[in-house]
Structure 1
Amino acid sequence: MDRGLVVVDHTESHRELLTEAAEHAAGADAELVLLTTMTEAEYEEKARDLETIGSVENVTYSSGEILDGVAARTREFAAGALGDVSTEVVARVADDGDLANAVITTAEDHDCDHVFLLGRRRSPTGKAVFGDVAQQVVLNFDGFVTVSTQ
């Protein structure tokens, strides 16, 4: 592994995934890219909040500052789990139906050869009916994929 992508949300299970990915990266002398996502609705809510704050402070915030803020929060969340592993943080807007594509595209854009993500425990019928982000990534990413189901 030269560079791995870790899909991160701010939960304890994701912190454990980060720790595992960091250990793997340290052993391979590799870098990690952390991907955090937000839905379009969450993005629009943050934009409204910043617009309100900006009107009170008489300041204008750009749309890029929303994603920068999310990336900074992810850096803080991940700091303890990563040790000395070199990291880059990417924040993207992706709704549930587009999440697998966002993971694969980000991994390809950043030349990642390994993806780490959490999966859901579902029955085969549940996967067939509802789909599964982890399954889509495993089937469509041209590299190694580690799926944890903690």
Structure 2
Amino acid sequence: MALETVMLAVGSQDRDRAGRLTSTVVDIAEPAGAEVVLLHAFTEEELDDAVGRLDYEFGDRPDADEVARRLSVVRDIADELEEAGITLTVRGAVGEHAESIVGVAESSEADLLVIGGRRRSPTGKVVFGSTAQEVLLDSPCPVTFVRD
């Protein structure tokens, strides 16, 4: 299978593992000449918080792509990917995280999805759910999971 599009889904909690996520994507995408879709998924509340923190003019409601491009974790990863010579598109999506990630993977026709997460106990997964687990089960393409 030829890799044309690799999607990297990140969230604000990925700051500590951004380097590992980025190097994983570079190791995969660079030799294949694949393009990268760098996605940040927001809930409505997270998007509102981000818009407030990023000092948009009152009344302006930027789209999720624009807000994602301005987040520091996304900018840092995008800069490193561009330095590695990788072509990328930054996307933002609004909704439940797992559904948004799967939806963008489908619409971008991703050949591979890279996500990060932490190890959780079985009880923790049942009680709190797991975005990564939902994505692994519902993804339209293979998933590479980078854990803490």
TM-score (norm 2): 0.80
Q: Which moved more, 1:38-47 or 1:5-14?
A: 38-47
| C-alpha distance in 2 between matches for 1:69 and 1:130 | 27
Match of residue 93 from structure 1 = 94
Q: Which moved more, 1:13-22 or 1:39-48?
A: 39-48
Among 136, 140, 143, the residue aligned to 1:142: 140
* Unpaired stretches in structure 1, ≥5 consecutive residues: none
Amino acid at match of 1:92: A
Amino acid at match of 1:85: I
Match of residue 37 from structure 1 = 41
| C-alpha distance in 2 between matches for 1:77 and 1:3 | 20
Q: Secondary structure in 2 aligned to 1:89?
A: strand
Q: Secondary structure in 2 aligned to 1:4?
A: strand
| C-alpha distance in 1 between matches for 2:70 and 2:51 | 16
Q: Secondary structure in 2 aligned to 1:54?
A: coil
The structure-2 alpha-carbon separation of the partners of 1:121 and 1:70, relative to structure 1 and needing over 3 Å to count, comes to same
Among 120, 123, 130, the residue aligned to 1:122: 120
Deviation at 1:42, TM superposition (A): 2.9
| C-alpha distance in 2 between matches for 1:135 and 1:63 | 30
Match of residue 27 from structure 2 = 23
How many residue pairs align between the two structures?
A: 141
Amino acid at match of 1:61: D
Deviation at 1:129, TM superposition (A): 3.0
The structure-2 alpha-carbon separation of the partners of 1:63 and 1:143, relative to structure 1 and needing over 3 Å to count, comes to same
Match of residue 107 from structure 1 = 105
Structure 1, residues 55-114: CA drift from partner, whole Å, max 9, x if none? 5xxxx52432x64143244553124421101101001223xxx21111100000101011
4+ residue stretches of structure 1 with deviation over 3 A?
A: 45-50, 52-55, 72-75
The structure-2 alpha-carbon separation of the partners of 1:76 and 1:47, relative to structure 1 and needing over 3 Å to count, comes to closer
Q: Which moved more, 1:106-115 or 1:134-143?
A: 134-143
| C-alpha distance in 2 between matches for 1:143 and 1:45 | 31
Amino acid at match of 2:20: E
Deviation at 1:130, TM superposition (A): 2.4
Contact kept, 8 Å, 1:22 with 1:32, in 2: the verdict is: no
Match of residue 76 from structure 2 = 77
